[in-house]
Chain A
Amino acid sequence: MSDSASTSPLRRSVRQTRDRMVTALITAGGIGVIVAVMGIGIFLAVEVLPLFWSSDIEMASLWQAQSYQGLESPAHRWQPALLEGDGEPRFGMLPLVWGTLEAAAWSLVMAVPLALGAAAHSALFMSPRLRDRLRPTLELMEAMPGVVIGFIAGLVLAPWLDDHLAFGVVLVLLLPPGLLLAGGLLRRRLPMGWAALWLMPWLLVLWWVASWLAPWLEAWWFNGSLRTWLEVHLGLEYANRNAIIVGMAMGFAVMPSIYALAEDALSGVPANLVEGAEALGATRWQTLWRVVLPAAAPGVFSAVMIGAGRAVGETMIVLMASGNTALMTTNPLDGLRSMAASIAIELPEAAPGGTHYRLLLLAALLLFAFTFLVNTLAEVVRSRLRRRYRRLEGAP
């Protein structure tokens, strides 16, 4: 921009026109992109609407038990394509919804204790140097593609657990007391701030102890086979790919995002609160439990909700690790079929515009609405929390 250029009136008007054009372009483009992205919800709603006045299917029948040919009592069934000739396709959405929620619930059971424990430890106890390394590491864990986790869960973990069920159970049961024992024995010699690292060899020891203990325990308590015992005494049948395996795999996938958000909330608590509590003589755990956690509770809650949103919509893990049987049982050792997996399997074959197609779009709409609402709620809670922290810090 030389002097003469900026003073010439022609030049100035060219620049102003260009400015206006660029601004208009950005505005149009920006609004266009945002509308296109938001259009997803609108598209799904528009495609689903015809279901309400279609004569093929009653909306209410999707959610109620129906009596079908060949079944004694009314039941919920999702069998969109029956192979045995004359039968009608059976559209009961409830098994899919049940499967989705069951998978999400089990994955939260696995992920929440791990994620919150990790967040608490890294917010208050961990050495800052280790903490700076931990965050990116868990970010990498979050980036792990679902198809790889699903493959490991469905083709490696499931057959392994099939053979080593007792070992797996013993290992999980042994973990908490084993960790406490390590804390009791080694806390004077090794620093708490690095516990995350020096506990890892200890986990190997626990693994070894469990592998030694498992056959012995199985023989004494469960008459030699845990699976038969489960079937006889608790009536739980063991399916090779089941809800617990889905829960473990998806828990692994969801845990890092819960951790990241919960840790943000916990370490964002104003330092003066923490210092005040410690000055009054509270231990760090008491500070966490009585001061930090109550202050950060909404943030932790929103972290769990975002985790739930991810777990509900995750497709590949459920598809590969669940067996995809549309059952409605409370048995966690049985298979399941989620809405997302159903869409992935069935939509390419469903005729566009047909009932089956629209029902799958309804499932997609449900997923969209659920995750969108949950995330919005979590976002609102988080922004309130940030305001609260600012107030607690004494900012205007």
Chain B
Amino acid sequence: MREQASTPGDALATQEGRPAVASRRGRSPRGEGPWAWLAAGSVATSLALLALLLGLLAVRGLGHFWPADVALVTLDDGRQLAGRAVKEAPLPDQEGRERLYRVGNRDLDGDIWEWVALERIQGIARPADLVVLERRRWGEFMGRLVAIESASGERLVGDAAWPALKERLAVLEDARQQIARLRQETLPPLVRRVEGGQASPEERAALASAQAQLAARQAALPGDTLVLKSVGGRSLRQPLTEVVRALQPNDMGPVEKLVSWGQGVWRFLSEGPRAANSAGGVWPAIFGTVLMVVLMSIFVMPFGVLAAVYLNEVAHQGRLIRWVRIGVRNLAGVPSIVYGVFGLGVFVYGIGGRLDTWFFEASLPSPTFGTGGLLWASLTLALLTLPVVIVATEEGLARIPASQREGALALGATRAEMLGRVVLPMTLPAMLTGVILAVARAAGEVAPLMLVGVAKLAPQVPVDGEFPYLHLERKFMHLGHHIFDSAFHGSDVQATLPLIYATALLLVVVILVLNLTAIFLRHYLRGRHGTRPTY
């Protein structure tokens, strides 16, 4: 890099050496000096970092559901292992590299990982008969299916076993869904009525019949047993009821794999977590996040608009209001954890504790509203996002030309009519932008929720068929907290990592879509009124 043009004199000299006619945009960047390139580089670096982060989330998050081939690795001592390669690293103290395989079979080997030095590998094959079973306990199994034995003693061996397994899994899946419905929807309200001592005889009968039905269905679950054999030669008898999903990835074509990938994504979105949040899906977390955010919008929208209208239309625009406005704006910069502290101190311990002593004395040692819950969480987040809505609405109000207001007043409208029929309808898109931004911010906040009501695992979603249908005092699950929890309180983080990637990707996609909507709305607004906001 040439050092030139460091003083104005030099600059003039170089300018004289160039053709005199140079348009402003078109002239060559000659003589800008090294710093200009570093500045350009910092933009490139930031964009590259963002692209790296998003790419990492997308590849790892979506790749998790792809049924990748299972490799059958033969080592130099003749031992075999089946697994999926995860990463490579140099050997600790010597030349060469080693590869990490995810081999599953926690119940057989005690661990699901195996490091293999590359030079010890004799051959890698992909035999079509390797099966991957997803199980409720012990994670996945990789190996071969030897036979399938039904409860009646019938035994299918060899090629007949795999189709039979697929068929019985489908039956099992149906039965499971029916049992889940009985357990979650029919039984709990009846049980609660009976325990509360307020049940009518019909309800008692209904409960008894439901319980009998449940027992019958559970007894009717196929009692088959799978005889499995790992490639290392160890056998395992696996009850079919523990199996969630069975695949032969090496035998699948690209289309089949794509279908299986889609099913995997759908299961992730629609199922609940298993095994202490280290497997399964995130449906309760999605539900909790959405419900909390909807409640928050219901709280924040009217109050935010009210405050903005007061600040901009009703209040006397003096020094005091100017300071209040700066204060409100600055509250958007106050750390979210401080709002969480406020929520815990005022809503949970203060108001919630009071409510408990007044209305829920019967169950008192265990708190009803005096502990974190859905209501307090959404109120806290409403407070947190209030400045966002106020600022956005105020911007919208300030952008409406004074002539509109004056015209309405001149035609004889009162101030309430002017606001209600002219000003507020015109501000609607700005309010919407504010609420969308508020939702996007609230969906990603975790710190305050940790204080006011998020749960690691909430067995009951806050909405069910029992009066009053929406249970504001219950704890709920949240996508962001799910990420935090499974990342930091799991036993084997390495095994959970793909699932956390997927959850993080989901959260980021939701937030990006919300923000993009807000950006486009704002863009549309600017275009319509033809002015830049006055901030």
A interface residues (Cβ-Cβ under 8 A, vs B): 1, 6, 15-16, 18-19, 21-23, 26-27, 29-31, 33-34, 36-40, 43-44, 47, 113-118, 120-122, 125-127, 134, 136-141, 143-152, 154-156, 163, 175-176, 179-184, 187-188, 191-193, 195-197, 199-200, 202-203, 252, 255, 259, 278, 280-286, 289, 306, 309-310, 312-316, 319-320, 340, 343-344, 347-348, 352, 360-361, 364, 367-368, 371-372, 374-376, 379-380
B336 interface contact, C-beta 8 A: yes
Residue-wise interface mask of B (18-46) relative to A, using a CB-CB cutoff of 8 A (1 in contact, 0 not): 00000011001111111111111111111
Expressed in whole angstroms, the minimum distance between the Cβ of A277 and any Cβ of chain B is: 10
**Sample (24) of A-B pairs whose CB atoms are under 8 Å apart:** A21-B416, A26-B314, A30-B314, A126-B43, A138-B46, A140-B516, A143-B440, A143-B441, A143-B515, A144-B508, A148-B508, A179-B44, A180-B37, A182-B41, A183-B1, A193-B25, A195-B43, A282-B8, A283-B11, A285-B32, A310-B333, A348-B450, A371-B334, A375-B334
- Whether the pair B335, A314 counts as a contact (CB closer than 8 A) is yes
- Whether the pair A19, B417 counts as a contact (CB closer than 8 A) is yes
- Whether the pair B310, A147 counts as a contact (CB closer than 8 A) is no
Q: How far is the CA of A362 from the CA of B380 in the complex (A)?
A: 19
Contacting residue for B519 out of A136, A180, A284, A319, CB 8 A: A136
B410 interface contact, C-beta 8 A: no
Q: Known contacts A316-B446, A320-B484; can you find 17 more A-B pairs with CB under 8 A? A: A19-B417, A40-B338, A114-B46, A115-B42, A125-B29, A141-B46, A145-B480, A147-B484, A148-B480, A191-B29, A340-B337, A347-B341, A348-B450, A368-B335, A371-B334, A372-B334, A379-B329
Given contacts A30-B306, A184-B2, A121 and B341 within 8 Å (CB-CB): no
B5 interface contact, C-beta 8 A: yes
B472 interface contact, C-beta 8 A: no
B344 interface contact, C-beta 8 A: yes
Given contacts A44-B342, A314-B335, A283 and B33 within 8 Å (CB-CB): yes
- Whether the pair A16, B414 counts as a contact (CB closer than 8 A) is yes
- Whether the pair B487, A151 counts as a contact (CB closer than 8 A) is yes
Chain B CB within 10 A, most for which of A176, A364, A380: A364
- Whether the pair B334, A151 counts as a contact (CB closer than 8 A) is no
- Whether the pair B43, A44 counts as a contact (CB closer than 8 A) is no
- Whether the pair B480, A320 counts as a contact (CB closer than 8 A) is no
- CB-defined contacts of B37 to chain A, threshold 8 Å: 179-180, 182-184, 187, 195
Contacting residue for B450 out of A23, A286, A344, CB 8 A: A344
- Whether the pair A283, B334 counts as a contact (CB closer than 8 A) is no
Q: Which residue of B is nearest A377, CB measured?
A: B330
- CB-defined contacts of A113 to chain B, threshold 8 Å: 42
B298 interface contact, C-beta 8 A: no
- CB-defined contacts of A37 to chain B, threshold 8 Å: 328, 331, 383, 386-387
- Whether the pair A180, B34 counts as a contact (CB closer than 8 A) is yes
- Whether the pair B500, A195 counts as a contact (CB closer than 8 A) is no
- CB-defined contacts of B415 to chain A, threshold 8 Å: 19, 22-23
Q: How far is the CA of A228 from the CA of B330 in the complex (A)?
A: 46
B173 interface contact, C-beta 8 A: no
- CB-defined contacts of B304 to chain A, threshold 8 Å: 33
Q: How far is the CA of A344 from the CA of B56 in the complex (A)?
A: 28
Q: How far is the CA of A156 from the CA of B37 in the complex (A)?
A: 30
Contacting residue for B47 out of A137, A176, A364, CB 8 A: A137
Residue-wise interface mask of B (55-94) relative to A, using a CB-CB cutoff of 8 A (1 in contact, 0 not): 0110000000000000000000000000000000100000
Contacting residue for A200 out of B44, B56, B331, B341, CB 8 A: B44
Q: Which residue of A is nearest B13, CB measured?
A: A281
Expressed in whole angstroms, the minimum distance between the Cβ of A74 and any Cβ of chain B is: 30
Interface residues of B in 177-200 (CB under 8 A from A): none
B311 interface contact, C-beta 8 A: yes
Given contacts A151-B483, A155-B500, A145 and B508 within 8 Å (CB-CB): yes
- CB-defined contacts of A310 to chain B, threshold 8 Å: 333
- CB-defined contacts of A144 to chain B, threshold 8 Å: 53, 444, 508, 511
Contacting residue for B342 out of A21, A30, A43, A117, CB 8 A: A43
- Whether the pair B307, A196 counts as a contact (CB closer than 8 A) is no
What is the number of contacts between chain A and chain B, taking CB atoms within 8 Å? Answer: 340
- Whether the pair A187, B89 counts as a contact (CB closer than 8 A) is no
- Whether the pair A320, B41 counts as a contact (CB closer than 8 A) is no
- Whether the pair A26, B309 counts as a contact (CB closer than 8 A) is yes
Pick the 10 closest A-B CB pairs, nearest first. A313-B335, A30-B310, A145-B444, A117-B42, A183-B37, A179-B41, A315-B447, A19-B414, A199-B44, A195-B40
Contacting residue for A203 out of B48, B53, B445, B451, CB 8 A: B48
Expressed in whole angstroms, the minimum distance between the Cβ of A2 and any Cβ of chain B is: 12
B507 interface contact, C-beta 8 A: yes
B275 interface contact, C-beta 8 A: no
Contacting residue for A44 out of B44, B341, B444, CB 8 A: B341
- CB-defined contacts of A29 to chain B, threshold 8 Å: 303, 306-307, 310
- CB-defined contacts of A182 to chain B, threshold 8 Å: 37, 41
- Whether the pair B444, A118 counts as a contact (CB closer than 8 A) is no
- CB-defined contacts of A140 to chain B, threshold 8 Å: 50, 512, 515-516
- Whether the pair A148, B504 counts as a contact (CB closer than 8 A) is yes
- Whether the pair A121, B40 counts as a contact (CB closer than 8 A) is yes
Q: Which residue of A is nearest B35, CB measured?
A: A285
Chain B CB within 10 A, most for which of A125, A156, A182, A315: A315
Given contacts A147-B483, A148-B508, A180-B38, A43 and B1 within 8 Å (CB-CB): no
- CB-defined contacts of B416 to chain A, threshold 8 Å: 18-19, 21-23
Given contacts A282-B8, A313-B334, A348-B450, A148 and B39 within 8 Å (CB-CB): no
Expressed in whole angstroms, the minimum distance between the Cβ of B343 and any Cβ of chain A is: 10
Interface residues of B in 325-358 (CB under 8 A from A): 326-331, 333-342, 344-346, 349
